[in-house]
Structure 1
Amino acid sequence: MKKLLCLAVFFSASLLQAEAQQQTPKKPLSHDVYDSWNSLEGDKISNNGQFVLYNIDPQEGDGDLYIRSMVNNAAAKYNRGTKARFTNDSQFAVFQIKPEHQKVRALKLKKKKGDDLPKDSLAIVKLVDMSVVKMPRVKSYKLPKEGSGWLAYHLEKPLAEKKEAKKDTAAVSEKKVETKKSTPKKNKDAKGTELVLRNLNTGQEHRFSRVVDYIFSEQGNMLYFVKDELDSLHHAGVFAFSTSELKEMPIDTGKVTYKGITTDKTGNQLAYVASADTVGADIRYFGLNYWNTKNRRNQLLADTAAKGLPQKWMVSEHGNLTFSEDGKRLFFGTFPRPVRYEKDTTQLDEDKVSLDIWTYKDPLIQPMQLKQNDQELKRSFLAMYDLKSGKMQQLATLEMPDVYLDAYKTGDVALAVSDEKYKITIGYDTPTRKDAYLIDLKKGTAKQVLKETRGNPRLSPMGKYVYWYEPMDSSWHALSARGGANINLTKKLAVPFYDVDFDMPMLPDDYGFAGWVEDDSYLLVYDQHDIWKLDPTGKKAAVNLTDSYGRQNNLRLRYEKLDPEEKFIPANADLYLSGFNIRTKADGYYKDYVSKEAKPEKLISSDHAYTSLSKAKDEQLVTFRRGDFRNYNDLYTSNLGFANVEKLTDANPQAAAYKWGTVELMDWKSTDGVPLQGLLYKPENFDPKKKYPMMVYFYERSSDRMHAHRTPAPSASTINIPLFVSNDYLVFVPDIVYKDGYPGESAMDCIIPGVQLLVQQGFVDDKNMALQGQSWGGYQIAYMVTRTNLFKAAMAGAPVSNMTSAYGGIRWGTGLSRQFQYERTQSRIGGTLWEKPLQFIENSPLFFADRVETPLLIMHNDNDGAVPWYQGIEYFMALRRLNKPVWMLVYNGEDHNLMQRKNRKDLSVRMSQFFDHYLKGAPAPVWMQQGVPSVIKGKNFGLELVSEPEVAGELQE
């Protein structure tokens, strides 16, 4: 009876609580909710499928790591856990623990930095009982890729050592001469710290001092590490530790620098580069070194005198060292010996000339050269050392700098692809032309097999074929690596393999490919809807692997790679596919087969977005993310049949307390009769009898993101849709299709009919509509306000306003000339300035600034690497002179989109203030009414709202 009474009381209390929650009115989203809104990151599933881990982190502050048992559904939480991994045997989870956010912030306010700030800790969780072992002051850790039972973790400098390093050593001088002579001189620049190798099963540890770099072999049978020089008695060197013998072995000592340690698949062979030259030397000469567990003898394989190395070339310290899968070959980097220039010690720095010399013969223009300087200084050219024959072969050259190997690096050919002859056309000729060469790894010869292809040739996994999509004929091609004709694999097929929706004045790209079937037997490629199986020899007819199921059902079927290490698709594999409905935007997963004839089987499909499908290595268990506009992309689990879907996380339960909204798919036609789609976001509890202010945001096409969840977050450049919808705005996101030569007019032709259709439905306040967009969207807005007064206000982020001046400019982020963008890509003019001068002018808002009546807010930052800052200045100055209502926000040192969170928060507030003022009649902020004079910059930000009588007052410091 007591139990029944307790249950009754419990259920009554639950009902009352639920009713109270239902009665509590939901709050609109505001700018102060951003920091606590969570993201789910780093989800992983153990190999045995019994555990899942994931992080739930706020946008600012301390997050949590969760480890959930899939057996009993219990979850353990670890504050500030990060960089978590399961061991391969699924017995342990290892992760780092970050310092508390507020403690770090408090210390930074006291001007502490570097070693004075708290460091990460390490945690090891034994999954069978969830017991935890922690270690302080850990900078990194590593686990074997395939093996289990061992963990290596690298410690920060001990606190005592830090304090000792800060002492003024000059003051410690009163020692006997004999003592000074007998004390080794310490290396002041030593960076090595203690490395710990731990047996996870026994807890036994082995410690190694002065370590700067370390790696495990794949199976964990060997640990290799580099020690820094401490003093004349403790030299730098490379060392090995056998986890079976529990024995440390010196490999090479006495040189100044050791880099690039790498092992073969077995862990029994080691390679690295080393130099005896001092760090400050003008040119440092490195040698390629080799060691193995069989004879345990260090061997110099290549240096400047190596046979097979081009004259005046040398081994690169920046090359990527790798062994072939069978361990018989070693690949490394070389480069031409740099020219040594004598330093002029007779001139002061202020007397030296500093200039860039531009010439019409430069393969790359000076800004691109300057941007790529560091990359060029570290550039290396692939070379091969045959460990069986002892011969070295240079593969990459100045003329053929990019060389690709098969997936196993065991084949007899390599593929070189070069655009060196065509680099001078970069900036206006796109896609760039390339030549391709097959390199015979036995004979050392190279043969050209492709000339001026616009595609990106690659080798098949086994190295039997060269394959590529050729934009010039919109077809997939292959040719035998043993010699043979270039075979067009898709020319005779009735479906297009180019992007049919591509609307730029250049060659369209392909839909991509799924991969190769084992033994290089077939290439699997995509059309708009389906997957095709292509015989690379061209002898067998192409097969629609998905039986046109995608096309018949308006689906876009794409292969889901469930094994991250997969190099090819097994011939008898079950194919798991994502299936997105192009028309309705529903999403889900399907199943098909490589060899078995059967139509794709629908496993799960719904009005959600599905992402991040991941499978347990040894079990038929998967995890995936699912969400929609209203619901965050939480983590779910299921078997491979998706018959028992279970939700694992609820990352943002607080969302239930806020007004959100809904999203609908809209259909209409452009002025030219082109069918279009777009998204309409409506406020929660939408009333069709009311009239709502409406924001119109756009870029190019966004309707496929109908079910994408949009998190409340400070803006890098565009409106946060949930925030505006939660505050009773409609938000319309239309798709746009373009006509060559008329990008601005195309935007008008697509957007205005969609807006008019919504206005006709009666719930849009047509007197209070606004535009907002960034970059390409910003340009279209800058154009539209010269052609229509339909909108009450507009914001254009980083807009191009004058195509004639922008055309000749530089994209400073890459150093590229901007010409390609106007002739062939996004700006879609389709010709040069001298070929189509009128269209450059017609599409430039600046030349029609006198027509603007719409109040305009511009954001254009002074370190914008994509659209030159002066584009915003040109438009602002024209509108200012015409006495048009215009403001420009310039975030100092910021790029095209805001990177710093403080600036994102600031922009979000100012955008809301701007649109609330014009569309809702809210008071204007001080920065709009009076501005913020430079003399009080950084002291008063002008965010206070003012009523009309206060407008005449002066802004005070």
Structure 2
Amino acid sequence: MKKFLCLAVVFGATLLQAEAQQQTAKKTLTHEVYDSWNGLSGDRISNNGQFVLYSIDPQEGDGDLYIRSMANKATAKYNRGSKASFSNDSRFAIFQIKPEHQKVRALKLKKKKGDDLPKDSLAIVKLADMSVVKVPRVQSYKLPKEGSGWLAYHLEKPLPEKKEAKKDTTAAGAEKAGEKKSTLKKNKDAKGTDLVLRNLSTGQEHRFPRVVDYIFSEQGNMLYFVKDELDSLHQAGVFAFSTSELKEMPIDTGLVTYKGISADKAGNQLAYVATADTLKADIRYFSLNYWNTKSRESQVLADTVAKGMPQDWMVSEHGSLMFSEDGKRLFFGTFPRPVRYEKDTTQLEEDKVSLDIWTYKDPLIQPMQLKQNDRTLKRSFLAMYDLKGEKMQQLATLEMPDVYLDAYKTGDVALGVSDEKYKITIGYDTPTRKDAYLIDLKKGTTKQVLTESRGNPRLSPMGKYVYWYEPVDSSWHAMSTRGGANINLTKKVDVAFYDEDFDMPMLPDDYGFGGWVENDSHLLVYDRHDIWKLDPSGKKAPVNLTDTYGRQNNLRLRYEKLDPEEKFIPANAELYLSGFNTLTKADGYYKEYVNKDAKPEQLISSDHGYSSLSKAKDDKLVTFRRGDFRNYNDLYTSDLNFANVERLTDANPQAAEYKWGTVELVNWKSTDGIPLQGLLYKPENFDPNKKYPMMVYFYERSSDGIHNHRVPAPSASTINIPLFVSNDYLVFVPDIVYQDGYPGESAMDCIIPGVQMLVQQGFVDDKNMALQGQSWGGYQIAYMVTRTNLFKAAMAGAPVSNMTSAYGGIRWGTGLSRQFQYERTQSRIGGTLWEKPMQFIENSPLFFADRVQTPLLIMHNDNDGAVPWYQGIEYFMALRRLNKPVWMLVYNGEEHNLMQRKNRKDLSVRLSQFFDHYLKGAPAPKWMEQGVPSVIKGKDYGLELVREPEVAGEAKE
């Protein structure tokens, strides 16, 4: 017995030793691992629930598509598969195959581009036996929305023919060569390529040349397509192919341009716009055209002289064409005829004046106008053609540009919404005021029903009600479209429907909207925790659909829409809800009923993040994503009761080889005594008796994201938390609450007590702590280093440094004045510069630059469309003059957050070098010590360390 015990002890010790060795054997995350980390995307379920597909792709390189049979648990893998779909009958999977990444890269290095690069192929998989048919050089494919059995795919231009071995020098040969050269030139100039229609069951194909656009009818009974002109014998036109008759039918030919093809639900009616004007015409006049399978004759429904067309208006080539659900109405776009300016042939181009004229009367300031020029030129105004009554009605106008229809487009009322009268206040008055109008689609009359609403009025699915959340009184409202009064639906409910945590100096928004119940009988809205069922007529009292279960259990319950085509919630529906615990941060799914008095039923809940719930159309199989900080958000399947959960993917098995760390929720109080939460990320094998350097990163509130998985990836602007934790840093992410007028001080009052609370626990090296943040976080860091020397180093990305100059600036990405941000939104000053000048100055780091003692790294890019680049320059120049240790990274042509992967990789390395130097005593890189002169820009990046790292154990000189 004693011998057995001794063996057990030895065996146990051996296991512990093996586990310890395994832990120590784990690798540290480095910048070299980014490209090996995968992402999961494109997951789909077949309608019958028997198959699931998904893609797993590295951050850079070739990925794979997988198709999983739920019956036999077999998984087929397809290299470089993407853009995958199932056929509606669940018999086939179709996807495109990308060219090999390295081959494309090699050709690009040889300056190849466009048609000289390899193109996608198409794969058609028969799911019964997983046999595959491949088609080379395919640019796109389409399946019918509802019907089955047919596939259309559009080919790329054919590769040029190889040169003939021997040249025919005879006269006949020269003539033939000339004809061939002419045809090749025309083919080269033509945009159209072959469209192929394939019968998925038989494999029989029909080919149509010179196609530039194509659509299926919903049921797949018709294929409609547009052909490009080749020559006088092969004109441009619109064509139809009946999949039942296997017959091609010309609809309209001979004009220069055809576009915008759209079919009705049954597939028997087609609309399109067309013009005979050439591409060089100053103004191209389009007509609205119509065709149906009964008459098989095209006709013009509307043009510039049509009855009902406003004077000097015309059909828009950019408007969407939409049939009503019953096919009795056609909606299209119109717009005012542009002014025609004669070209001045007497003036040289260099003599022309180029300027922008700003006036105080402009509804939109010039930068916004310039930013929206393309949108303005392509803007269209909704009009309707009554196919039964054969008449046109203009719905949208210059004064009322936005018009909304019911979900089926069959009702007799439309809703017009306009902020035109209030556009001059955009930039400082938010949310923007709006007026609303009811448009009678039978009588053609318009009646104003709302004035200066701060909400966003919309129509119910059946068009019976206008509904909106009104920020002014924090209530949900509804109004019958048959002449009813404006009814406040929630004024007698004793819970708040506005966001109670909202801390900006403006009217808070609502908690959200869940949808409409069948026949416009009720609408579902949210409070902080629960779902409410509201009677839009106001006759019945509001009902807490979830019976306060959410509030009683600290849950945030929200409706999960499982049918992407859902227009309303069935009256007897089972509702599937997401349920997030606001205290413990556990997440999961629950079940509730629209018309049954029962509390929500918990289906699944755990300390994970859940997302992307999806259901098979004709089966109870669901898929969802689940993960946490340590585990990637992999794909899972289950039935609707979540009784048989199965993990489908392991997208990043290599994660087990690396030191990852843990995350925990921490609590403390602000200087003002406000309870706060935050996240503390700890290294693997955390030792509470050891002291660790600590990074502090923040942006508004982040604690609800405790279960978010963060992959090792190059940084767009902020530290990659897994990478720093793997390298033995603590990372603290505190929540911040704000007081109007004091954004910088509010950040201090929340962050510093949280840092002090952690320092008191003994495992934080308080001599080696740093700050890092971007944009709004970058501003607060720039402010904090003027007020505290608690941190050894800091990095501020795109910081505002001078609120007085930033206030009058422009957000160049949108052309919008920055005033709104300081008065009403994130900057939280709560007033104008002339009303609160001292608060603008007190919150501006620039005015206190002489107090900064913390080494600061700034990133501010020269194409930043959110925070003007000069904000970073102002701060840098002040600190440089004061001889403070400051660096600024400016990525040329880059935006607020880095977009190009090469730049993200570069920033990631520099962030590590900067913080490792200050917090770990690592050697400084050349760019920090010596800079990188402009004459060697792009040749030497300055990433080399100035001195070699010291060998552990060596005595310092």
TM-score (ref. length: structure 2): 0.95
Tell me the distance in 1 between the aligned counterparts of 2:510 and 2:23: 53
In the alignment, what sits opposite 1:630? 630
On the 8 A contact 1:185/1:232 being kept in 2, the answer is no
Tell me the distance in 1 between the aligned counterparts of 2:565 and 2:36: 36
Tell me the distance in 1 between the aligned counterparts of 2:769 and 2:40: 35
Q: Deviations over 1:83-109 (max 9, x none)?
A: 000000000000000000000000000
Tell me the distance in 1 between the aligned counterparts of 2:453 and 2:179: 71
In the alignment, what sits opposite 1:106? 106
Q: Deviations over 1:733-766 (max 9, x none)?
A: 0000000000000000000000000000000000
On the 8 A contact 2:922/2:949 being kept in 1, the answer is no
- Superposed, 1:864-943 pairs within 5 Å as 864-943=864-943
- Superposed, 1:524-603 pairs within 5 Å as 524-603=524-603
- Superposed, 1:368-767 pairs within 5 Å as 368-767=368-767
Say if 2:832 is the partner of 1:837. Answer: no
| C-alpha distance 831-546 of structure 1, shift in aligned 2 (>3 A) | same
Tell me the distance in 2 between the aligned counterparts of 1:553 and 1:912: 42
Q: Which amino acid is the alignment partner of residue 800 of structure 1? A: V
Q: Deviations over 1:464-505 (max 9, x none)?
A: 000000000000000000111100000110000000000000
**SS of alignment partner, residue 25 of structure 2:** coil
In the alignment, what sits opposite 1:159? 159
Tell me the CA shift for residue 280 of structure 1.
1.1
Tell me the CA shift for residue 348 of structure 1.
1.0
Q: Deviations over 1:557-606 (max 9, x none)?
A: 00000000000000000000000001111000000000000000000000
Tell me the distance in 2 between the aligned counterparts of 1:53 and 1:821: 44
In the alignment, what sits opposite 1:954? none
Tell me the distance in 2 between the aligned counterparts of 1:234 and 1:292: 23
In the alignment, what sits opposite 1:8? none
Q: Which amino acid is the alignment partner of residue 783 of structure 2? A: Y
Tell me the distance in 2 between the aligned counterparts of 1:191 and 1:76: 37
Tell me the distance in 2 between the aligned counterparts of 1:711 and 1:352: 53
On the 8 A contact 1:323/1:329 being kept in 2, the answer is yes
Tell me the CA shift for residue 550 of structure 1.
0.4
Q: Deviations over 1:776-827 (max 9, x none)?
A: 0000000000000000000000000000000000000000000000000000
Q: Deviations over 1:424-456 (max 9, x none)?
A: 000000000000000000000000000000000
Q: Which amino acid is the alignment partner of residue 270 of structure 2? A: L
In the alignment, what sits opposite 2:955? none
Tell me the distance in 1 between the aligned counterparts of 2:739 and 2:178: 86
Q: Which amino acid is the alignment partner of residue 189 of structure 1? A: D
| C-alpha distance 176-884 of structure 1, shift in aligned 2 (>3 A) | closer
Tell me the CA shift for residue 188 of structure 1.
5.9
**SS of alignment partner, residue 619 of structure 1:** coil
In the alignment, what sits opposite 2:260? 260
Tell me the distance in 1 between the aligned counterparts of 2:175 and 2:263: 47
In the alignment, what sits opposite 1:790? 790
In the alignment, what sits opposite 2:801? 801
Say if 2:344 is the partner of 1:318. Answer: no
| C-alpha distance 769-219 of structure 1, shift in aligned 2 (>3 A) | same
On the 8 A contact 1:613/1:625 being kept in 2, the answer is yes
**SS of alignment partner, residue 159 of structure 1:** coil
On the 8 A contact 1:184/1:233 being kept in 2, the answer is no
| C-alpha distance 187-781 of structure 1, shift in aligned 2 (>3 A) | same
TM-score (ref. length: structure 1): 0.95
- Superposed, 1:273-284 pairs within 5 Å as 273-284=273-284
Tell me the CA shift for residue 160 of structure 1.
2.2
Q: Which amino acid is the alignment partner of residue 936 of structure 2? A: I
Tell me the distance in 2 between the aligned counterparts of 1:179 and 1:350: 44
| C-alpha distance 323-161 of structure 1, shift in aligned 2 (>3 A) | farther
Q: Deviations over 1:108-152 (max 9, x none)?
A: 000000000000000000000000000000000000000000000
In the alignment, what sits opposite 1:35? 35
| C-alpha distance 389-367 of structure 1, shift in aligned 2 (>3 A) | same
Tell me the distance in 1 between the aligned counterparts of 2:674 and 2:205: 70
**SS of alignment partner, residue 160 of structure 2:** helix
On the 8 A contact 2:666/2:678 being kept in 1, the answer is yes
On the 8 A contact 2:634/2:650 being kept in 1, the answer is yes
On the 8 A contact 1:85/1:94 being kept in 2, the answer is yes
Tell me the CA shift for residue 74 of structure 1.
0.6
On the 8 A contact 1:43/1:55 being kept in 2, the answer is yes
Q: Which amino acid is the alignment partner of residue 617 of structure 1? A: K
Tell me the CA shift for residue 22 of structure 1.
3.3
Say if 2:142 is the partner of 1:145. Answer: no
Tell me the distance in 2 between the aligned counterparts of 1:545 and 1:311: 52
CA RMSD of aligned residues (A): 2.1
Tell me the distance in 2 between the aligned counterparts of 1:22 and 1:901: 33
| C-alpha distance 562-949 of structure 1, shift in aligned 2 (>3 A) | closer
Tell me the distance in 1 between the aligned counterparts of 2:79 and 2:881: 56
**SS of alignment partner, residue 895 of structure 2:** coil
On the 8 A contact 1:185/1:231 being kept in 2, the answer is no
In the alignment, what sits opposite 1:4? none
Q: Which runs of 5+ in 2 are unaligned?
A: 1-14, 951-957
**SS of alignment partner, residue 945 of structure 1:** coil
Tell me the distance in 1 between the aligned counterparts of 2:327 and 2:680: 58
Tell me the CA shift for residue 947 of structure 1.
2.2
Moved over 6 A (4+): 15-21, 161-164, 176-185
- Superposed, 1:49-198 pairs within 5 Å as 49-160=49-160, 186=186, 189-198=189-198
Tell me the CA shift for residue 24 of structure 1.
6.7
Tell me the distance in 1 between the aligned counterparts of 2:906 and 2:437: 53
On the 8 A contact 2:479/2:487 being kept in 1, the answer is yes
**SS of alignment partner, residue 274 of structure 1:** strand
In the alignment, what sits opposite 1:204? 204
Q: Which amino acid is the alignment partner of residue 395 of structure 2? A: L
Q: Which runs of 5+ in 1 are unaligned?
A: 1-14, 951-957
Tell me the distance in 2 between the aligned counterparts of 1:563 and 1:181: 54
Tell me the distance in 1 between the aligned counterparts of 2:758 and 2:303: 72
**SS of alignment partner, residue 946 of structure 1:** coil
| C-alpha distance 154-161 of structure 1, shift in aligned 2 (>3 A) | farther
On the 8 A contact 2:923/2:949 being kept in 1, the answer is no
Q: Which amino acid is the alignment partner of residue 86 of structure 1? A: F
**SS of alignment partner, residue 498 of structure 2:** coil
Tell me the CA shift for residue 186 of structure 1.
3.9
Tell me the distance in 2 between the aligned counterparts of 1:637 and 1:21: 35
Number of residue equivalences? 930
Tell me the distance in 1 between the aligned counterparts of 2:792 and 2:179: 83
On the 8 A contact 1:184/1:231 being kept in 2, the answer is no
Tell me the CA shift for residue 153 of structure 1.
0.3
Tell me the distance in 2 between the aligned counterparts of 1:28 and 1:734: 25
On the 8 A contact 1:115/1:162 being kept in 2, the answer is no
Tell me the distance in 2 between the aligned counterparts of 1:646 and 1:184: 56
On the 8 A contact 1:399/1:418 being kept in 2, the answer is yes
Q: Which amino acid is the alignment partner of residue 454 of structure 1? A: R
Larger CA deviation: 720-729 vs 24-33: 24-33
Tell me the distance in 1 between the aligned counterparts of 2:75 and 2:185: 53
Tell me the distance in 2 between the aligned counterparts of 1:699 and 1:523: 34
Q: Deviations over 1:348-382 (max 9, x none)?
A: 11000000000000000000000000000000000
Q: Deviations over 1:23-53 (max 9, x none)?
A: 7700110000001100000000110000000
- Identity level (%): 89
In the alignment, what sits opposite 2:341? 341
On the 8 A contact 1:187/1:231 being kept in 2, the answer is no
| C-alpha distance 17-640 of structure 1, shift in aligned 2 (>3 A) | farther
**SS of alignment partner, residue 918 of structure 1:** helix
Tell me the distance in 2 between the aligned counterparts of 1:500 and 1:228: 57
On the 8 A contact 1:335/1:379 being kept in 2, the answer is yes
On the 8 A contact 1:666/1:678 being kept in 2, the answer is yes
On the 8 A contact 1:140/1:154 being kept in 2, the answer is yes
In the alignment, what sits opposite 1:25? 25
On the 8 A contact 1:240/1:250 being kept in 2, the answer is yes
| C-alpha distance 31-183 of structure 1, shift in aligned 2 (>3 A) | closer
